[in-house]
């Protein structure tokens, strides 16, 4: 599969002492990262709120897909280097799954082949300097539940996105993490979990993570 061709240059000389939380938009990555921060982990948050391109992208994906992906790639590489220097880091998404978005935009014609090729070249140059995380946490969710949560948090630029985009994104994520093998992985379906507000659900997720790390 293409995704793993792009990851073939990753440094396999051991794992970095970090957790990575991944999943589609609205799945609860930032919420879980904040919970893990309370457990003593050092957080590295996804660059959303200081991102000058993100909102523009949702209104004009053809114009802003390439600069947005380069912005994210640059920030994620910076974060992963910083996270590699500390113990018990936790990242809200990371560089590893970034190619999911880029490939989806290329396949839809919203990123040109030339832009995509340049993006992949940069990605492969960066990934040579990275080690896999000690645990990848994939939060799995249905499209309907993801859309419900996206609407609930109320970012206007996300609410205008057509359902087809979220369906494609979810499909690409599921395919990616079905094949993911560069590090230990923990998959948690969160359709019926509210670990932000229900203590029992929060403890369930924390226990799952502890169990996976214990292996």
- Catalytically annotated residues: 92
Q: Judge whether 169 is annotated as a binding position.
A: no
User: Would the annotation count 13 as a binding residue?
Assistant: no
Q: Does 174 show up as a binding residue in the annotation?
A: no
Query: Alpha-carbon distance 100 to 110, whole Å?
Result: 14
CA torsion, ordered 54, 163, 191, 46, to nearest 10 deg: -10
Judge whether 179 and 3 are in contact, CB under 8 Å: yes
Q: Is 29 annotated as contributing to ligand binding?
A: yes
Any binding-site annotation on 27?
A: yes
- 193 is an annotated ligand-binding site residue: yes
Query: Per the annotation, does 25 bind a ligand?
Result: yes
3-class DSSP state for residue 13?
coil
Q: Are 89 and 44 in contact (CB under 8 A)?
A: yes
The three-state secondary structure class of 48 is: coil
Q: How far apart are CA 79 and CA 36, in angstroms?
A: 17
| Cα–Cα dist 142/27, whole Å | 9
CA–CA separation, 114 vs 119, rounded Å?
9
69 is in an annotated binding site: yes
The answer to whether 58 is a known ligand-binding residue is yes
Binding site residue list for ATP: 23-31, 149-153, 193-195
């Amino acid at each position: 599969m293409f995704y793993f061709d792009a990851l073939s240059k990753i440094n396999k000389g051991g794992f970095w002492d970090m957790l990575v939380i991944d999943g589609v938009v609205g799945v609860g990555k930032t919420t879980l990262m904040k919970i893990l921060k309370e457990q003593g982990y050092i957080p590295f948050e996804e660059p959303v709120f200081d991102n000058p391109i993100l909102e523009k992208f949702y209104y004009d994906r053809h114009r802003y897909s390439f600069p947005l992906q380069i912005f994210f790639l640059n920030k994620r590489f910076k974060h992963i280097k910083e996270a590699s220097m500390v113990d018990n880091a936790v990242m809200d998404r990371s560089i590893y799954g970034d190619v999911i978005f880029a490939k989806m935009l290329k396949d839809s014609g919203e990123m040109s082949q030339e832009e995509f090729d340049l993006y992949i070249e940069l990605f492969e140059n960066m990934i040579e300097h990275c080690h896999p995380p000690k645990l990848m946490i994939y939060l799995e969710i249905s499209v309907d539940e993801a859309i419900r949560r996206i609407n609930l948090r109320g970012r206007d630029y996300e609410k205008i996105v057509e359902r087809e985009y979220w369906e494609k994104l979810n499909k690409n994520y599921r395919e990616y993490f079905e094949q993911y093998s560069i590090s230990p992985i923990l998959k948690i379906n969160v359709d019926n979990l509210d670990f932000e507000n229900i203590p029992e659900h929060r403890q369930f997720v924390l226990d799952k993570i502890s169990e996976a790390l214990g292996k």
